[in-house]
Amino acid sequence: MVMSYPEIAKAPGRVPPNLADYEALRRGWSWDAVRAELELPGGLVNQANECIDRHARRAPDRLAMIWEGSDGRVERLTFEELRRLTNRFANVLRELGIARGDRVFFFADRIPELYVGVFGALKAGAIAAPLFSAFGPEPVAERVRRADGVLMVTTPRLLAKIEAIRADLPSLQHVMVIDRERGATGAHLDYMRLMDGAADEAAIEPTGAEDWSLMHFTSGTTGLPKGAAHVHGAVVGHYATGKYVLDLHPDDVYWCTADPGWVTGTSYGMFAPWSNGVTQLIYEGGFGAGKWFELIERHRVSVWYTAPTAIRMLMKAGARIPQQHDLSSLRYTMSVGEPLNPEGVVWGQEAFGLPFHDNWWQTETGAIMIANYPSVPIRPGSMGKPLPGIEAAIIDDEFRAIDEPMREGQLALRPGWPSMFRTYWKDEERYASRFKGGWYLTGDRAKRDADGYYWFVGRDDDVINTAGHLVGPFEVESVLIEHPAVAEAGVIGKPDAVAMEIVKAFVSLKDGFAPTEELRRELVGHARQRLGPGVAPREIDFLPTLPKTRSGKIMRRLLKARELGLPEGDTSTLED
């Protein structure tokens, strides 16, 4: 039995949770009451003002960021320092002629300049689009093209990938290089030099709640990734979930392990902690069990938001590692992005006395929608209950709510919450297709028990969830069939004990090519080089032909069923 957080919270010295009574808060919920806790000057809202400037005015010396580099270097920025740096960057952008609504891309590791850049862009009224730095050139090009990006901000390590695609990106007017070592940036704009010459003060663009702020790309079953566009008013949702789900308190040191290339790394690695005025740890490097616990100990992290794959990797590394560290600063721990197995919830409790609180949301929802809360007992394996202010339902194929407990259906949400995406960039039709019968359709299958807890069942499409990152099979197939040997490609998610799923490809070859081990390695290399290691298939199998429908569509479901030895289901549309 998992100890409920309410009991843990009663321990001496523990701060009482912000959400003391779930049902009462739900009954009395008002988004306007949340808005009243923010500044929103004259009804305007700019995320940078709510996250940075308003704290800089009240508590200029409060720490906003504790940054630790991969090499162990530590840097700290106060809210006032962040205010000035983001002003400078806004001035740099205006000087370049970047105007309101222009798409500014960021392709960088988690360095302080990435955070300065995103908020500086928001101050200038631009739309910030951060990309995962492990992407290969192809996913980067595809996303910049889709959104007609005008500026790419990157680092010397990643520059070659941009140079390789620049000629194919007519919209891209500038490439700016952040060189922390202050080397030469060649023909490109030099971030350090431009920032040196920029003024500390800047007017924040007078954006309203419905003005664009951020774009994240997300994958579907068909077609290339879509740009889910978000608005400045989303900060109301980030602030509310930071307060009630992350349970942020003024003295917390908060750490979110996600990268801003994915929505968790912006909503919860930028907006939620800073709109709550809380200090956050940012670690440039990747996973390392010993390293992560060392970071929690060294920086006295109190609230920690991570992901199931990471938790499973920590579990694999063993309970001895956390025992070697003083983790007494930790107060509250959460997980998101994939189903969190009950073992993962319980492991946290055993390893350092705190169960992981699972929560659920999507790029499109912009903020946490379903969660386990500090004052509500956890049912291990459940995603928890809807955020107060959010109406969720399990719906049937006719978009009618199913009341019966534990009956599976599609998870749906009543539209209208502040952080909801407002479009798929240049794809209104697809955006509209996500709303039916008065619901926003999540595309996830789930159940709800008699007490209102939601249980994740699976996705309703072919999108692959690998280590919490969504990968669209089409994007991978497109790159595979560019190889001269490949006739057709079908890509599936293959279950994996740690990463939930890995990307697996099946290919058939053109005449004259033999399915050799050497060719397999060459294809893996081709895909890794073009797509990057997080997206490329980890396994490739050769098949004489791929199963297709009579209309010529590759049947990924059948490939998956055969791979897993499961029943093939309805094959009536299979070509002869």
Residues that bind ligand PRX (CB under 6 A): 218, 262-264, 336-339, 358-363, 383, 442, 444, 456, 459, 465, 470
Under DSSP, the state recorded for 455 is E
Residue 84 or 494 having the CB closest to ligand PRX: 494
Among all residues, whose Cβ is closest to ligand PRX? 363
As measured in angstroms, the least distance from the Cβ of 78 to ligand PRX is 29
Contact of 400 with 438, CB cutoff 8 Å: no
The C-alpha atoms of residue 513 and residue 328 are separated, in whole angstroms, by: 60
SS3 533: coil
The nearer residue to ligand PRX, 46 or 335, going by C-beta atoms, is: 335
> In terms of residues, how long is the chain?
576
Q: Which residues neighbour 236 within 8 Å (Cβ) at sequence distance 6 or greater? A: 31, 34, 35, 38, 45, 209, 418, 419
92: CB partners within 8 A, 6+ apart? 120, 191, 194, 195, 198
CA distance 515 to 536: 19
* One-letter amino acid for residue 334 of the chain: M
CA-to-CA distance for 114 and 270, rounded, in angstroms?
A: 11
Nearer of residues 191 and 360 to ligand PRX, judged by Cβ: 360
Closest distance of CB 280 from ligand PRX, Å: 18
Q: How far is the CB of 366 from ligand PRX (least distance, A)?
A: 9
Report the residue number, 359 or 423, with the smaller CB distance to ligand PRX. Answer: 359
If the CB atoms of residues 18 and 264 are measured against ligand PRX, the closer one turns out to be 264
Strand, helix or coil at 282? strand
Nearer to ligand PRX by Cβ, of 245 and 315: the residue is 245
Specify whether the CB–CB gap between 226 and 427 falls below 8 A: yes
- Least distance between ligand PRX and beta carbon 128 (Å): 17
Map tokens 């007992």 to a residue: 377
At how many degrees (to 10) do helices 137-147 and 473-480 cross? Answer: 120
Q: How far is the CB of 271 from ligand PRX (least distance, A)?
A: 13
Least distance in angstroms from the C-beta of 375 to ligand PRX: 19
Residue 532 CB, shortest distance to ligand PRX, in Å, is 16
User: With respect to ligand PRX, which residue has the nearer C-beta, 49 or 362?
Assistant: 362
One-letter amino acid for residue 502 of the chain? I
